[in-house]
Chains A and B, each alone.
Chain A
Amino acid sequence: MAEFRLPANSRIRAGVTHKAPQGARDLRTVRIYRFDPDCGENPRLDTFELDAAECGQMVLDVLIRIKGSRDASLTFRRSCREGICGSCAMNINGINRLACITPVSDLGREIRIYPLPHMPVVKDLVPDLTTFYAQYASVKPWLMTQTSAPPDGERLQSKAEQEKIDRPAGCILCACCSTACPSYWWNSDRYLGPAALLAAYRWIIDSRDEATGERLDALEDPFKLYRCHTIMNCTDVCPKDLNPAKAIAEIKKMLVQRQS
């Protein structure tokens, strides 16, 4: 059966509180999920009181500040700090988003930071995305053709054809959408999830691709595709404002249309 309670070794216990510095001007309480695989203990929730006026304006700046001045063992992924690499996706105040483009001023006095939900945790805020990446690889996210490319140039498409893939191709694979999807929580071993399906759609509607039928065949499955019940958390949380739910609906439509 689906599990509605965390397994015993995943239950979160109270953690350490790091008190606010003297004379803080903009006091924020930041509660952060901590898990250390080496110590053999359950995860804990640490509390950091800090002066937001000393940090940059985004949540990622707060995390970097904490790591730099309070607890150097705090572990998280980050790279571009401008919302294009997708590394710092995490659950902030209950919503999956990118720490680097989430302003602290939007969040209130208390900020709660957890790793992306329902994924195995490697350490602290770092989830194990191995399966997520394998799901992306499984939709063959590359151009597949039988016709060879023109000898004197690239494969062409019209402006209108390009515009169709413009948005779906903007996915940065941050995993905010898939890990916000209840259907993905219960069945991520068989359901591909919104991110992989959006990638599949991006290639299905690519005018240059010649494997549309093969791609649709690979998705025609009660679990791989049809575990989507149009909950639309994916579209709700996407930090790039993409619409995976619509892409999945379009795939379902194409599968019906090719039957009659």
Chain B
Amino acid sequence: MSLRTPLASVLGQGAAKEGVRHWWVQRLTAVALVPLTIWFAVSLLSLPSLGYSAVTAWMSQGWTAVLLILFVLTVTWHSQLGVRVVVEDYVHGAGPKTAALALVTYLHVIAAAAGVFAVLRVALGGAP
């Protein structure tokens, strides 16, 4: 049992002066994902076939590769922001929370790097 006053507990360590950027970037990436996701789904479905050669040929076009890279980066960025909030909501305790947030960030950076590398390899002709 703590003998701190209720007001002291509520005031805690004060405001972190953080959160605006997170909130705003989450909205910006969400808005950007609307056209990107529609473009991705429509272009993929309008390919003559979904076979390996048809898809790699599509990915090798300049604008397709650029948009795919933007799509990968925006998805992973948006997802990182969202999952961070989920962790903050449900994981309590400084240790587990810090570890979970670090892990989530690393995984998203790895996913982004792998996605961009895959697009570049196909687009620049490195894929078999």
Contact = CB atoms under 8 A, between A and B. Distances in A.
B89 A255 contact: no
Contacts of B85: 229
A256 B10 CA distance: 25
Interface in B7-23: 7, 9-12, 14-20, 22-23
A131 B15 contact: no
B15 A189 contact: no
A138 B7 contact: yes
Contacts of A183: 89
Interface in B74-128: 85, 88-92, 96
Interface residues of A, number: 31
A135 interface: yes
Interface in A1-24: 1-2
B24 interface: yes
B9 A134 contact: yes
Q: Give the interface SS of chain B, mostly helix, strand, loop or mixed.
A: helix
B91 A189 contact: no
A118 interface: no
A255 B15 contact: no
A217 B15 contact: yes
Interface residue tally on B, bucketed by range = 20 to 34
A211 B85 CA distance: 30
B19 to A, nearest CB: 4
Contacts of A187: 89
A189 B24 contact: no
A223 B22 CA distance: 12
A238 to B, nearest CB: 22
A147 to B, nearest CB: 25
17 contacts: A2-B92, A131-B6, A131-B10, A134-B9, A135-B10, A183-B89, A186-B89, A187-B89, A220-B20, A221-B15, A223-B16, A226-B19, A226-B22, A227-B89, A229-B85, A252-B23, A259-B20
Interface of B: 5-7, 9-12, 14-20, 22-24, 85, 88-92, 96
